[in-house]
Amino acid sequence: MIECRRYTGSKLKQEAVGGFAYRIRDLGADGGIMVSPLGLQRGAKLIAEKEGITEIRLAPDSTRTAFVLQFGGSAVIGAPAAQTVVEVSCTATAEVVPQADI
């Protein structure tokens, strides 16, 4: 799971990371990545370490390329070391349904 929080006033608190850790367990995910511009407070870092959550710090004005460059060197969760990494492209379509039809 990946959770992004663009809080620019303070580092993420342990309550935010603890809630994320609970959602990871609730959904049965193998781990999580928390992205924020200021990082985590000390208590939040302890929870992240214990629960297998990787911290990614990213400036609020960064680009998609900056995210890929920073994230790419930081973590791959749930992938064995010998696994081959390939680039995958996905597309999706959506249908707009008028509210009267719902």
- 65-102 pLDDT, tens digit per residue, is 776 666 665 544 444 444 444 443 444 444 555 655 44
pLDDT value at position 25?
A: 93
What total of structural domains would you count in the chain?
1
pLDDT value at position 17?
A: 95
CATH code for position 11: 3.40.1350
Range of the domain at 95: 2-101
Provide the phi-psi class of 39: left if phi over 0, else alpha when psi is between -120 and 50, else beta: left
| Structure confidence by residue, pLDDT tens digits, 6-45 | 888 899 999 999 999 999 999 999 889 998 888 899 999 9
Average pLDDT over residues 1-8: 85
Q: Is the per-residue pLDDT at 1 higher than 80?
A: yes
